[in-house]
Amino acid sequence: MRAARGKEGARLARPGGAALLGLLAASALLALALQSFPGAGPGWGANGTRGCPRAARRPPRALLDELSRRQRDLLRLATSAGRTGLSRGGGGRLGCGDLSRVTGLGVVGSGFTKLVLRAALPGAGAIALKSVHRAGSDVSRCVQRYGHPAGCRRLASYKLLKEVTLLQRLEHPGLLHGQCYDPEIRVIAMLELGSPLEMIQLLQTPWEERFKICLSLVKLLFYLAHSPLGSIVLLDFEPRQFVMVDGNLKVTDMDDASTEELSCKEDNDCTLDFPAKSFILKCTAAGKCDGLNEKKNLFNAYRYFFTYLLPHTAPSALRPLLGDILNATGDLRYGINETLGAFEKVLRLYKSGLYLQKRLPLLKAFLCWYNCICTGDYKCWPSYSHLGCLLSVHNAEEAAAICNSQPQCQSFIVTQQRTWTGEMMTLFY
């Protein structure tokens, strides 16, 4: 992400609390979209605002068509899943009323369409505010093409408003929540502030933490495949679309998500093309490609996450199962249901300790009395701490086996700290 200009951040630093409304019902959203759609009411002013006394300048026809397509997509989402309105959210969600309480605004970064600011919110800690980046490439290219800045800003606003609408409809811990918009379609998404996903750093973390990330991703994809809106595909599926929040993986960008299933007449119409592989899926009697959204998400998870994070330094007894997961998802023989089942099987084996191989009793060789002094500068990799060798073990016997296999290791201490699976954090010396 390139750093955004401070002037853009200053414009967001003082949002008018009275001007920010609560989340609208679907009927109100329909009226909002119609009012903001150029040509549906009074003309646009030269400065892009409605009701301006100066001569109106309508956007060109091609831009009107793009705005219309974005509007239809938004309204379809807002009225889908058999629900009559958008909820205001609950259970700790952030809303428009919280914006007046934010302090300490600072720029996090910017992309093609959006600007992200950091803010502090009393009682909620650090949050991220996402809005349309008026100086971004998305708006700039549109202006170069159509010559209508106000229409182009509105076109970009629809992308963020689509993301807000999706987040309102979806309930999953892998999704970031909190949003607000007003009648002028000034959209502000209020999100948990996460850390960028750095694959190089993840490769240096213990296997258990990498498995947790992959499992979190699989659970998210399972939810997206069976969501209230139907099967959802993440069209821009790359590690940069995800963040880490308190050690958990979350998707942070939903504006390129789609609920549309590809129509078809024959199987050849259902081709999934990737840089190194292509797959032909079944065309159903209903004229839809069977599971295309689900399979596209799953293969992207395989090529961006599973291949890098799953096999490296995995417990040897679990490697055959992990190999099966890699092969089955890499060939799309598994769907998301089978993939989740396979991950949960690995988790059960790991938490139960059944993955441990039978070893000779080594623990008594490492028994240490209270006056024992553990010395040494032993480090290992991957470790939970870069200052020493801190690993997770199922029991003291496993710790003894690990220490016995390392010539530099002289002793270990089993601590009271536990990992997310219940494994014991152990210091090796």
Contact 225, 231 (CB under 8 A): yes
- Tokens found for residue 116: 């992200």
The greatest distance separating any two alpha carbons of the chain, rounded to the nearest whole angstrom, comes to 90
Contact 292, 262 (CB under 8 A): yes
Domains of the chain: 6-193 (3.30.200.20), 196-352 (1.10.510.10), 363-428 (no CATH)
Residue in this structure with the two tokens 């892998």, named with its chain if needed: 174
DSSP letter string, 154-222: HHHHHHHHHHHHHHHH---TTB---EEE-TT--EEEEEE--EE--HHHHTTS-HHHHHHHHHHHHHHHH
| pLDDT for the residue 43 | 39
Q: What mean pLDDT is predicted for residues 358-365?
A: 58
Q: What's the burial of 225, exposed, middle or buried (CB within 10 Å: 0-12/13-18/19+)? A: buried
| pLDDT for the residue 283 | 95
The H-or-E segment that residue 149 falls in is helix 149-169
| pLDDT for the residue 382 | 87
| pLDDT for the residue 324 | 97
Of 95-104, 238-247, 288-297, the one with minimum mean pLDDT is 95-104
Q: Please provide the distance, in angstroms rounded to a whole number, between the alpha carbons at the two ends of the chain.
A: 41
Of 148-152, 188-192, 301-305, the one with minimum mean pLDDT is 188-192
pLDDT at 195 over 80: yes
List 236, 256, 324, 377, catalytic entry = 236
Q: How far is CA 4 from CA 99, 138, 377, in A?
A: 20, 14, 44
| pLDDT for the residue 288 | 93
Name the residue among 136, 109, 135, 107 with its Cα closest to residue 119.
107
d(Cα 64, Cα 70) in Å, to the nearest integer?
Answer: 10
Q: Give residue-wise pLDDT tens across range 275-329.
A: 989 999 999 999 999 999 999 999 999 999 999 999 999 998 899 999 999 999 9
pTM score of the predicted model: 0.75
Q: What's the burial of 104, exposed, middle or buried (CB within 10 Å: 0-12/13-18/19+)? A: exposed
| Displacement of CA 96 from its chain's centroid (Å) | 22
Q: How confident is the model at residue 13 (pLDDT cuts 50, 70, 90)?
A: very low
Contact 308, 201 (CB under 8 A): no
Does 236 qualify as catalytic in the annotation? yes
Is the Cα torsion angle 94, 96, 99, 100 positive or negative in sign?
A: negative
| pLDDT for the residue 59 | 87
Q: How confident is the model at residue 95 (pLDDT cuts 50, 70, 90)?
A: low
Q: Give residue-wise pLDDT tens across range 224-237.
A: 999 988 899 999 89
| pLDDT for the residue 182 | 55
The SS3 assignment for 288 reads strand
Name the CA dihedral angle for 281, 345, 240, 313, rounded to a multiple of 10 degrees. -120
Q: Give residue-wise pLDDT tens across range 16-72.
A: 322 222 333 333 333 343 344 433 333 344 344 444 444 447 889 999 998 988 888
Of 133-142, 186-195, 314-323, 371-380, the one with minimum mean pLDDT is 371-380
Arithmetic mean of pLDDT over the chain: 77
